[in-house]
Every structure is written in C-alpha cells, then in structure tokens.
C-alpha cells in the first residue's frame, strides 16, 4: 500500500446561507418590543441609519408642505424619499472625522439621544418570604428562635408548603451555628433540639396566610379550618379521618363510616372545596411581562382589516449627511471605502428587511382572517382547523418562515388579544365532510359539562353521542383527553347527591 499526498478534483453542491439571511429570519422571529431594541442597537452601530421619531416627522411634514401626506408605507418612503433639510448646527460638525472615527463621537446623535427611550426599572415587590418575615419581626422571639424561624421561612416554597422535613431543618440550622462558631473562633452554641423545631413549626403555622407551613395538603386544609374555628365540624372530620375517601369523592363510603346521609357529606365536602390548597400563591410575585399586539384586526363596514401595530417602532431612514460624504470617494483610502460600502449596504438591507417583515406578517395574518372568518363572527366553536403548512402553501412561503412569523406574536381582535398560535390546531371530521377545530371541540365539551344535570352528569360516552348528533365524529378516549386538558373531573367525581 503506497502512502503519500495526492490531489484530486471533484464537483459537489453545498447550500450556504448568507449571514444576512440569518438576520432576516431573526427579524421575523422577534416580537415587537425585541424588534424595537434591535433597531436602536443598529442605529448605534451603523452611521448610515438615522432615527426619525413619528412626532418629529409629522411636525416637519406639516410645516414644509401641507399638500403632502405621509406615505402609508413608512419604510419604503424612507428609502426613496428626497433628503430632508439639515437641522441647524449640522454645518459645524466634522462629518469626515465622525465617519473615519467609526461613528464613536456621536455628534449627529446628540439630539436623538435626548429623546432616547429608557427602560423602566423593575420595582421590587413583597413576596411570601417577605410577608412571613415581617410577621416574625413583630413576635417576641429570642435571637435563637428568630434564627430558627428564618430557617423555616427559607424552606417554605411559593405555594406556602414546607419543602423540607423537620430533621432537615434542624440539621440545617445546626450547621449554621457551627459555621458561625468557626468564623468567630468561639465555642459552638447548643444545638437545636427536636422539641424546639416542633415548637417553632407551630408558631410558623399560625402566621398569615392560614395554611402556610403545612407539610402536605391534608395538614394545609386542617390549618385553614382551624383558623376558621371549624375544629370538630363534619368538614374537619372529613379531612382528618376520611381524607382518601374525600379526594376520591366516595360519599357513600363516608356516609356509612360516619353514620350520616350522603347529602350531609356532600355539603361538608363543598366547604372543604372552598379552601385554598396553595395559600402562598396569593403572595407570589406577578409577572412583569406586558403584551403589546404586533397586529390589529378591526371590522370596518362589515369587512375585517389587518393593520400592523408598529406606530412606535423606530422609523429608519438613510442619513443624507453621510450619503453626501460617501459620494466623494476620492477623499478616502481603500479601508475607509470598504467601511463606507459595507455600512451603506447594511443600512439599505436593514430597511428592506424590515419592510419584508411587515409584508410577510400582513400576508400571513390576512390569510388567517379569511380562513377563520366564522370564528370572528360566531365564536370559538366555529374555529376551523389550520396548520402551518396550509398557510405556507397559500402565501407561497416556507413552513419555517410562517412558524417564525407566528411565534410569540399577538394580535388584537374583536374577540380579545390572542396569540397567533391560537388560530392553529388539528381538526376532526364531521358527517357533512367539513372539518372542525380541536379547540372548538374542547369549547363544546366545556359548555356541555357546565350545563349538565349535576345529579346525572354526562359521561365521556354520552358526550361522544351528543357531539355525533351535531355531526362531529370523535372517539371516547379523545373526549377523555380533552376533558383532562380542561381540568374537568370524570362524571363519577362530578356527580352530586
């Protein structure tokens, strides 16, 4: 076998994606708020892009020419419009120096930076641990007890339940004592005993909200009943002595066990059902996320129209001052020319990419509105099944493009603010050959259960037969799956006595 270096030629095809194509796909994926931040970042790095605030543009348009109205297509108008008059003071700026310094001086941005949007600072809110610590501070506790109470609070999860065993809490706080003694080079304090831990558990479980510090659901409910002064009542006995039967809704077994009728058991169970199984959640920190719809659907003269909600989106335009400077290429060396060409091409591409994003979103949303018109007119039961592939084939795009357009986007409709993914769901066949959305079927099941006879609730098979009479062909296991998704109990557990 002969070894050595050899050369050979071959032909092959490779698919290489332009980096700008990646950026264009990212623009499609971005929600409105993310896109705003991205465009502002582009303004800082590309000297050929300028920001025109909507208010400034309207004022200029009114003062310059009352007969000229603002173009409907903002981005295209920016790319093709005649240069705007320079603002006062621009003649004093060394444009060549600014450009060759890599746009670091920011001279032409001074006025824009004064109008820059500042991200609001998130204000700290009180959570469950803070709420409990404030109550502990009001109690007459020794430093030793306060340390143990702090260990308890640190092991209470957001639902209000104790997330550690008493042994783990004891060992944890004793370890704190040992570390403190080592750091201070002092003899360790006496270790916490089981009696101290149990005594502190009782103190913590008396704090607000009732049920906090419980080790399981049963103890949580008992603590709330105790706070209501319901110790010894039938509701208390249900939780204390027949908790498994209560969870399983076995009223007949409980009635025999307590020697009472099933109606009394059901009434007591209703009292227990009104308790909060996760009392700590009422103090959990709420989400600071705000939904700003990317699109708006309005019904005008009987027709649904789609609009982009991008009025606050930074409007990009090519910098006239830099364009004029770039035309005199003789003043720059080769490296500067390459920089100018790259930044100018990038600015033009960014403006075109934003317009392409707008047109793509409008095209996809208009198709969805046409397909789901019955939903807008008549409600969720008339939502038609729809897949990404159907939209992609209809608008002449790739399925992944449609997925990016609809991901994390919201639309304001006459029926509320909805995610674009809401309009996509699988379908079921009907007897007349049409399809119905799975989301619509779930809504029908929910309405059937809400209007059922509580003494004789609908079984899954009964729901199948009712839907079949309306033309919907569905299997019993599918009904059970949709019922579980809606959080609806089986008929046996919904039955009243």
List for the chain the helix, strand, coil content (%; round to 5). Answer: 55, 10, 35
In a domain, 114, yes or no: no
CA atoms within 13 A on the CB side of 248: 8
**pLDDT of 20:** 59
Q: Mean pLDDT over all residues of the chain?
A: 78
How many domains is the chain partitioned into structurally?
4
- What confidence tier does 412 reach under pLDDT thresholds 50, 70, 90? very high
Low-confidence winner among 53-62, 108-117, 211-220, 392-401 (lowest mean pLDDT): 108-117
| Closest C-alpha to 425, from 409, 405, 442, 411 | 442
Contact 406, 364 (CB under 8 A): yes
The token duo for 60 is: 């200029």
Q: Does 413 lie in the same domain as 342? A: yes
Q: Are residues 260 and 298 in the same domain?
A: no
Q: Is residue 109 part of a domain?
A: no
DSSP secondary structure string, 427-479?
A: EEEBTTS-EEEHHHHHHHHHHHHHTS-TTSPPPHHHHHHHHHHTTB---HHHH
Which two structure tokens, joined as six digits, stand for 467? 């839907």
State whether 308 and 420 are in the same domain. yes
Query: Does 277 lie in the same domain as 390?
Result: no
CATH of residue 443's domain is 1.10.10.60
* DSSP-derived pairing of the beta strands 435-437 and 427-429: antiparallel
Which of 184, 207, 230 delimits the end of a domain?
207
Whether residue 56 is found in the same domain as residue 145: no
Across 121-230, where does the E strand assignment appear?
none
Higher pLDDT, 399 or 85: 399
Instruction: Report the run of H or E that residue 50 belongs to, with start and end.
Output: strand 49-52
Contacts 24+ apart (CB under 8 A), 451-456: 452/494, 454/494, 454/495, 454/496, 455/495, 455/496, 455/497, 456/495
The predicted pLDDT at position 86 comes to 42
The first and second tokens of residue 389, run together, are 């592939």
Quick one: pLDDT at residue 365? Answer: 92
Same domain, 386 and 309: yes
Are 274 and 377 in the same domain? no
Tell me, yes or no, whether 155 and 256 share the same domain. Answer: no
pLDDT of residue 70: 39
The domain in which residue 267 lies consists of: 215-283
Q: In whole angstroms, what separates CA 9 from the centre of its chain?
A: 53
Alpha-carbon torsion angle 369, 371, 372, 378, nearest 10: 110
Coil vs helix vs strand at 312: coil
- Confidence (pLDDT) at 385: 84
Mind listing the pLDDT tens digit for each residue in 320-377? 767 776 666 666 666 677 777 777 777 778 888 888 888 888 999 999 999 899 889 9
Q: Does the pLDDT of residue 401 top 70, yes or no? A: yes
Token pair listed for 304 = 């649904």
Same domain, 415 and 306: yes
User: Using one digit for the tens of pLDDT, what is the confidence trace for 413-460?
Assistant: 998 899 988 888 776 666 555 567 778 888 888 888 888 888 888 898
Which residues, in sequence order, are CB contacts of 381 under 8 Å at separation 6+?
440, 443, 444
* Domain stops at, among 181, 207, 233: 207
Q: What is the mean pLDDT of the segment spanning 56-83? A: 42
Task: Please check the confidence at residue 101 and state whether its pLDDT lies above 50.
Answer: no
pLDDT per position as a tens digit, 158-213 = 999 999 999 999 998 888 888 887 777 777 778 899 999 999 999 999 999 999 99
For residue 12, what pLDDT is reported? Answer: 72
pLDDT at residue 57 tops 60: no
Q: What is the pLDDT of residue 123?
A: 52
Residue 90 lies in a domain: no
64 — pLDDT class (breaks 50, 70, 90): very low
Could you tell me the pLDDT band of residue 243, with boundaries at 50, 70 and 90?
A: very high
Tokens of 244: 């498994």
Cβ atoms of 445 and 463 within 8 Å: the answer is yes
DSSP string, 330-344: GGS-HHHHHHHHHHH
Which of 61-70, 331-340, 468-477 is predicted with the least confidence, judged by mean pLDDT? Answer: 61-70
In a domain, 259, yes or no: yes
Q: Is the dihedral of CA 180, 184, 188, 193 positive or negative?
A: negative
Residue-level pLDDT at 104: 39
Helix 143-154 / helix 194-204 crossing angle, nearest 10 deg: 70
Looking at the fold, whether 344 and 401 belong to one and the same domain comes out as yes
Same domain (yes/no): 419, 436: no
Instruction: Name the pLDDT band for 80 (thresholds 50, 70, 90).
Output: very low
Short-list 373, 472, 479, 484, CA closest to 427: 472
Q: Is residue 244 pLDDT above 60, yes or no?
A: yes
> Is 159 part of a structural domain of the chain?
yes
| pLDDT number for residue 328 | 65
Does residue 116 carry a pLDDT above 50?
no
Q: Say if 77 falls within a structural domain.
A: yes
pLDDT of the residue at 93 = 42
The sign of the torsion formed by the CA atoms of 111, 112, 113, 117 equals: positive
Same domain? For 194 and 258 the reply is no
Which pLDDT band, with edges at 50, 70 and 90, does 90 fall under? very low
More confident residue, 319 or 18: 319
Find the farthest-apart pair of alpha carbons in the chain and give their distance in angstroms, rounded: 104
User: Per the domain annotation, does 462 fall within a domain?
Assistant: yes
Task: Quote the pLDDT of residue 233.
Answer: 93
- Is 122 contained in some domain? no
């Amino acid at each position: 076998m002969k070894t050595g270096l050899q050369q050979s030629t071959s032909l092959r095809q490779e698919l290489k994606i332009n980096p700008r194509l990646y950026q264009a796909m990212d623009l499609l994926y971005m929600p409105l708020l993310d896109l705003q931040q991205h465009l502002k970042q582009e303004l800082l790095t590309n000297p050929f892009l300028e920001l025109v605030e909507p208010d400034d543009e309207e004022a200029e348009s009114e003062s310059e020419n009352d007969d000229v109205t603002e173009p409907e297509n903002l981005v295209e108008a920016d790319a093709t419009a005649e240069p705007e008059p320079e603002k006062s003071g621009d003649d004093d700026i060394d444009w060549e120096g600014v450009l060759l310094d890599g746009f670091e001086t920011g001279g032409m941005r001074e006025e824009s930076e004064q109008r820059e949007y500042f991200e609001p600072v998130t204000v700290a809110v009180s959570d469950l641990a803070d709420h409990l610590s404030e109550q502990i501070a009001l109690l007459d506790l020794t430093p030793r007890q306060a340390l143990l109470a702090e260990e308890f609070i640190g092991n209470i999860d957001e639902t209000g339940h104790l997330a550690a065993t008493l042994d783990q809490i004891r060992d944890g706080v004793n370890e704190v004592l040992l570390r403190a003694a080592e750091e201070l080079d002092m003899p360790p304090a006496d270790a916490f005993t089981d009696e101290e831990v149990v005594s502190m558990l009782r103190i913590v479980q008396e704090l607000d909200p009732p049920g906090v510090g419980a080790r399981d659901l049963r103890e949580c409910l008992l603590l709330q009943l105790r706070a209501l002064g319901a110790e010894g009542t039938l509701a208390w006995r249900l939780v204390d002595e027949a908790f498994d039967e209560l969870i399983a809704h076995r009223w007949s077994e409980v009635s025999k066990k307590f020697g009472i009728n099933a109606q009394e058991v059901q009434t007591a169970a209703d009292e227990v059902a009104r308790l909060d199984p996760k009392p700590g959640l009422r103090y959990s920190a709420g989400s600071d996320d705000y939904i700003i719809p990317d699109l708006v659907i309005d019904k005008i003269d009987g027709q649904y129209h789609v609009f982009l909600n991008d009025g606050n989106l930074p409007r990009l335009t090519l910098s006239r001052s830099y364009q004029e400077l770039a035309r005199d290429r003789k003043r720059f060396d080769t490296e500067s020319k390459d920089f100018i060409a790259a930044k100018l091409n990038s600015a033009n591409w960014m403006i075109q990419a934003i317009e392409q994003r707008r047109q793509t979103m409008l095209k996809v949303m208009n198709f969805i509105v046409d397909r789901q018109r019955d939903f807008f007119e008549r409600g969720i039961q008339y939502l038609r099944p729809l897949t990404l592939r159907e939209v992609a084939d209809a608008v002449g795009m790739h399925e992944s493009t449609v997925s990016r357009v609809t991901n994390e986007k919201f639309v304001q409709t006459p029926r509320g603010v909805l995610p674009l993914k809401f309009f996509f769901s699988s379908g079921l066949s009907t007897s007349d050959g049409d399809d119905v959305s799975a989301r619509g079927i779930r809504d029908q099941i929910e309405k059937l259960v809400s209007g059922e006879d509580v003494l004789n609730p609908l079984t899954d098979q009964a729901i199948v037969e009712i839907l079949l009479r309306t033309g919907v062909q569905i299997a019993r296991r599918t009904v059970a799956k949709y019922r579980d998704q809606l959080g609806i109990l089986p008929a046996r557990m919904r039955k009243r006595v």
